[in-house]
Every structure is written in structure tokens, then in C-alpha cells.
Structure 1
């Protein structure tokens, strides 16, 4: 009798919904859907390397959201506390906030850390005007995720064996060589102040890669010297500093002597002390307006001299 009761207990009865549901309806229940999620419940992706700026393009996106809403849903993954982490759609979320929206359409997907990282990087690399530092940290995050996957190939288009294989795979998708991907990742070894100069195009990419091999203290000394002497290293100078650093012979005096040496084909720069000319310009003038006015006045002075010589 007891055995019969156990068999009855083990029998799972179908619910009414199960009996009358179709394969199509069951598949639809498993299909991802777009849902409206409160912005307050969506946090940024941990370690998100891409800057979300309230620039002119962002303001235009916010105006579009006001008029038409968010046309392309974001992608989020659920967090243990019931909130969500943004995987793709950080700019759309910012535009929604600027548009005073309370919710945003999103697809909710279960993703592990490595899956989410790869999707986050790939979706943001489609943007225009990505800075060198954004690429550097994005490529690094993606490579680390791919290396953790080891020989798994379910999340990438090819199996990943090592760092060079990972770099090749990333480069193939990004239109770069694997070696170039590794060179970008080297930039993450730069101090924030020097990396900012790279983003601002004050230091070229190739010298920056060489400078990434300097220690943090050496980079601090380099930055201070660049600021005081108003100069940046050429590729040849950066390579010399890298070699001296590896040999343990790079210090502040050596950095100064390298940066202040005359470079090939170097022309003497014209320096005008700011306090000598600042009082002649309106306070709201930008540096470009000041330069244009100086050139305009010089052109007028030059034409006047030409006319005097012709008399």
C-alpha cells in the first residue's frame, strides 16, 4: 500500500494551461520580450570603459527621445537584488534621463559576466569617435573575458587558445590586426594624466605605446617635465626612454635632457607671455578667436607696409 502511495505521489499531473497550450504558445513564453523598466532600477555596467557625455549629439538624442521615445531597446541582465545592469544602451539611458523619461524599453537576458562583457564591448565599438583610452580598456576587458572562456567557443566565432589568439579574434571583428589590439591594450598601463594627453591628440599613438613601459614614477616625472617645458616626446625619444627605463637608468634629469634636445628639422617656436597680450582681448574670447584676431591684425599691418614701399 505504501509503495502504491509513493507511485501516486511521484506522478506529475499536467495543469489545465499545459493541456491546452500549443507548441507555439510555449515557445512564445520562452521568447525574449521588450519590457519597460524604470531608469532608477538600471545600473551601469561594472567597469564600463566608454564615456557617456552630455554633448551636442547626446542633446539631439534626448530631443529624439522626447518626440519618439527610445526606438531601439536596450539590453539588461537581472541582478540578484531584483534590479538590472545595463549591458547595451548606456547612451540611450542617458538620453532618456535628459528627456525626463521614467522608464526605458529593454530586453532582459540572463548573461554571465564574460558573455555580458563581450556584448557590452562589441555594441559600443560600433560608435563613431571612440577615444584611444576607450578602445584600450574595452579591448582589455574583452580579451580577459575571452581568455577566461578558454577553449569554449559558444560565445565567440572561434576557439580561443591564448592572448595572441584572443587579440587576433578581436582584431578580426574590429578591422585591426591582433598586434594592434595588443598595442592598444598597452595604453592601459599609462597614468591617467598621460592617457588623457593621448586622447587629446597631444601625444601620438606610437610614442604613447613606448611610454607605457615606463614605471608610474617615471611617467609622473615625464608628465611634470612635459608640462614645465611645453613639449612632448617624439617616437625616437619615447623609444630611448623605454630602453633606459628597462635598464634602470631613467630619472628626472635624463627625461629633461631628452625632451629638451633639439629634434631633427625642429624650428624655434614663438612664445608670447600671456600677461603681455591678455588685456587686449574681451574676456569671453576663446583661444581660437584670439589667434584669428592676431593674424588679422598682422595681415593688416603687412598690407600697410607693402603699400608704403610701393609709393
Structure 2
């Protein structure tokens, strides 16, 4: 029997078990240090952010909630230089806080290198299960290319099987029209 080069069991098999074991993630292995409030003007977005689109109406809703109740969950940043911080996670919260007119937001600061930052950003977004399948595939591809990880090593880092990683990466070989339908969740 020849090996299939397509998705095999389909997208539903690929997306099964998308919950990650938090005990194995980098987020739980490295301590975060609360640092109080940071000025929004000193926080820069993460260039390696896995999420590529931000739903305007969802941001409006979050901004309204932040106006009413404040920012409940701190963002996570790393210090780049004196008074300049880069987001690791929480870009939606950061954007919504700006829309809500806040000047400062609560943040955790982490000491991390570029490779770990990419891993943390990806893992945080996958754990929340709101990246579309193509964004996950693109993030996996970046980790393979930028960190030199094998599919097996990547699977261990994100608590997915090697075959699930390979299936996600195969999505990037689909025609653009199919990828767009996956991104819009028109097909599953």
C-alpha cells in the first residue's frame, strides 16, 4: 500500500485533541514575574505573532469589557531595552486596551530568547484553540525553519503527534482557495 500524501483522515482528525498539556508547555516550565503596570506606548507587538488577523467586532467587545471591568488577565512581555517591551502573548488584550483608552496595563515580564519567544507565542495561542488551521500550520513551518526542529521534536514541544504536525504542514500545500476557506472556517 502506498503512503498517502494528502491529509489522510481529514481535517477533523488533525484538529482532534487540540488541548495541550499545560504541564509540558514552556509556559509552565519558566516562571513569570509580575511587574505591575507598563505604559502602552512602551509595548511593541510581537513580529512573530502566530495570529495574523484580529476580528474587529471581537476587539470592540473586548475593549468595551476592559472599559467596564479593566484588564483582568495581564499580558506577557519581554524587555528589549530600557522602557521598551515586546509582547509575547496578549496582543488582542493590548490592542483592546489601547482602544479602551488605557495608558497602562498589567504585565508579566519574562527573560527569553527569540526561539523561546516563538515557541511561547505559538503554544499560548494553540492552548486557547482560536488560531485557524492555516495559522497553526504557518507557525509550525516557522518553528521547523527558524528553530531547525524535526516534526517529532516540534510535536513534543506542542504536545501533538508527529503525524498531526505533518498533517498541519500539508495544509500549506493546498491551493490558496482551499487555505482561504480553512482560514474562514468555511470548511472543516
TM > 0.5 between the two?
A: yes
Provide Cα deviations, 1:48-74, integer angstroms capped at 9, x if missing partner: 220352444332221221122111111
Q: Deviations over 1:211-254 (max 9, x none)?
A: xxxxxxxxxxxxxxxxxxxxxxxxxxxxxxxxxxxxxxxxxxxx
**Over 4 Å off, 4+ runs:** 189-194
Q: CA deviation at 1:132?
A: 1.6
Q: What is the Cα deviation at residue 47 of structure 1?
A: 2.9
SS of 1:125's partner is helix
Give the secondary-structure state (helix, strand or coil) at the position aligned to 1:51: coil
Superposition deviation, residue 96 in structure 1: 0.4
Q: Is the CA contact 1:39–1:93 (under 8 Å) kept in the aligned structure 2?
A: yes
Gaps of 5+ in 1: 1-30, 148-161, 206-311
Q: Report the counterpart of residue 43 of structure 2 in structure 1.
A: 42
Matching of residue 127 in structure 1 with residue 128 in structure 2: yes
Q: Is 1:198 matched with 2:185?
A: no
Q: Alignment partner of 1:33: what SS? A: strand
Q: How does 1:105-120 map to 2 (within 5 A)?
A: 105-120=106-121
8 Å contact kept, 2:35–2:109: yes
Count, aligned residues? 157
Question: Mapping of 1:160-179 within 5 angstroms?
Answer: 163-170=150-157, 173=159, 176-179=160-163
Find the counterpart in structure 1 of residue 94 from structure 2.
Answer: 93
Q: Which has the higher contact order (CA 8 A, sep 6+)?
A: 2
1:180 matched to 2:172? The reply is no
In structure 2, list runs of 5 or more residues that go unmatched. 1-31
TM-score when normalising by structure 2: 0.70
Give the helix-richer structure, 1 or 2: 1
The whole-number CA distance in structure 1 between the counterparts of 2:37 and 2:57 is 26
Alignment of 1:125-274 (within 5 A): 125-144=126-145, 147=148, 163-170=150-157, 173=159, 176-189=160-173, 195-201=179-185
Larger Rg: 1
CA RMSD in angstroms, aligned pairs only: 2.7
